[in-house]
């Protein structure tokens, strides 16, 4: 998880049934290292008590504009000025309407109009309210004013209806806070990321694969999206949730991955191939399950296409980033691939290490560039490796 140590986050809670989820949100932000301050509307207190959120945040909850205690230091201005980012979750249709028209009739709306910190709104309401043109017009007005909107999820709603209107999940809300605090230096840039293994079928029930879990690629996709990129994540068969703000394309075999990457490639500016693409596939796939018999089994293998080599003639002005998972002569093999495939960056790592290979949350890599440039990154969480790699991509685009 990309950490939030020392960041002051103001969580606004307005009066909808989803207010009870604010407890999980406040706890998640605190676990990520944030200093959390909560401000509640009067109606929000009908759904969850200030004491609950005070216990989880470790700070008194702000509730009243006209309180001798809370306003002794002009509290609403102190809250507005003290926040690095503001997240309102849930944001009701009523609060959205008031904010869109500049009304400040309670503590939370007063703070929202006074703050200069980035603001994210997480709407939650009945599906028909969400679809109402007036609500959508208000949200668009707030977007134009520079506020972020965390789209609600679809599903069963507390009112008994099914549709869009559920508060986004906690990870998406925390990610919205991270994005508020991250420079949007990839805004509008289309990035294609591949991740995970391939499965090459032997028969209807067996396949050849490798140990990749996709964690590194998913971290890169999340880091790029956090900085404003439009990310298409071409994922092999992995058991990972899609990062917030990322569009995911699921594939199986190496040839399926090539087709998906080619489809996303044309309008892209950056291609990051973290996937452990299968080099070989069975030459013939049995129609029926191969039965066990005496003796061994020989499977003839044939080469799969090399995705980066296939796309290299169409590279143009795009940035190409590759990953080299090696077990010996790591840097020599990575440098050879960097030159042979015409890459801008190659990320090399020794997957024989127990703490930096597949199926772990940490990595230690060397980032190689053209003209002998080299940077060694020590062992660190894969999220941090991804952030460092995206830093290099941004620097190359500026250059």
CB 49 within 8 A of CB 42: no
CB 275 within 8 A of CB 215: no
- What is the spatial distance between Cα 180 and Cα 178, in angstroms, rounded to a whole number? 5
- What is the spatial distance between Cα 96 and Cα 88, in angstroms, rounded to a whole number? 10
Which DSSP state fits 62?
B
Q: How far is CA 41 from the centre of its chain?
A: 30
3-state secondary structure of 123: strand
Beta bridge partners of 119: 86
Dihedral in degrees, nearest 10, Cα atoms 170, 176, 182, 188: 130
CB 35 within 8 A of CB 60: no
CB 274 within 8 A of CB 363: no
CB 346 within 8 A of CB 339: no
Distances (CA, A) of 84 to 62, 178, 199: 17, 11, 45
Residues 6+ apart with CB under 8 A from 117: 10, 80, 83, 84, 85, 86, 180
180 is catalytic: no
- Selecting among 159, 240, 364, 396, the annotated active-site residue is 159
CB 26 within 8 A of CB 51: no
**Whose CA is closest to 26, among 109, 89, 99?**
89
Looking at the annotation, which residues are catalytic?
A: 159
């Amino acid at each position: 998880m990309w950490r939030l140590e020392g960041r002051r986050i103001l969580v606004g809670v307005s009066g909808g049934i989803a207010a009870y989820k604010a407890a999980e949100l406040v706890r998640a932000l605190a676990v990520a290292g944030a200093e959390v301050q909560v401000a509640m509307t009067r109606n929000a207190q009908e759904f969850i008590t200030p004491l609950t959120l005070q216990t989880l945040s470790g700070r008194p909850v702000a509730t009243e504009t006209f309180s001798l205690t809370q306003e002794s230091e002009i509290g609403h201005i102190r809250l507005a000025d003290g926040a690095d980012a503001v997240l309102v979750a849930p944001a009701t249709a009523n609060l959205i309407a008031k904010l869109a028209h500049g009304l400040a009739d309670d503590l939370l709306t007063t703070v929202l109009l006074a703050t200069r910190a980035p603001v994210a709104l997480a709407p939650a309401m009945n599906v028909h309210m969400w679809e109402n043109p007036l609500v959508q017009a208000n949200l668009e007005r707030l977007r134009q004013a520079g506020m972020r909107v965390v789209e609600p999820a679809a599903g069963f709603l507390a009112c008994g209806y099914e549709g869009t209107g559920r508060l986004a999940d906690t990870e998406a809300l925390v990610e919205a806070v991270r994005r508020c605090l991250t420079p949007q230096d990839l805004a509008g840039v289309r990035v294609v990321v591949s991740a995970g293994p391939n499965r090459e079928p032997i028969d209807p029930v067996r396949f050849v694969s490798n140990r990749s879990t996709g964690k590194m690629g998913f971290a890169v996709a999340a880091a790029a999206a956090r900085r404003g990129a439009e990310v298409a994540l071409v994922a092999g068969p992995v058991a990972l949730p899609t990062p917030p703000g990322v569009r995911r394309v699921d594939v199986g075999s190496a040839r399926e991955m090539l087709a998906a990457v080619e489809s996303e490639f044309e309008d892209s500016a950056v291609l990051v191939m973290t996937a452990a693409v299968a080099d070989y596939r069975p030459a013939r796939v049995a129609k029926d399950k191969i039965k066990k018999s005496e003796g061994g089994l020989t499977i003839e293998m044939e080469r799969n296409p090399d995705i980066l080599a296939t796309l290299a003639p169409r590279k143009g002005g795009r940035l190409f980033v590759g990953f080299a998972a090696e077990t010996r002569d790591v840097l020599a093999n990575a440098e050879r691939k960097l030159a042979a495939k015409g890459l801008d960056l190659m990320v090399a790592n020794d997957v024989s290490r127990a703490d930096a290979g597949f199926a772990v949350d940490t990595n230690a890599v060397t980032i190689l560039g053209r003209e002998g440039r080299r940077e060694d990154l020590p062992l660190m969480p894969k999220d941090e490796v991804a952030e460092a790699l995206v830093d290099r991509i941004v620097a190359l685009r500026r250059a």
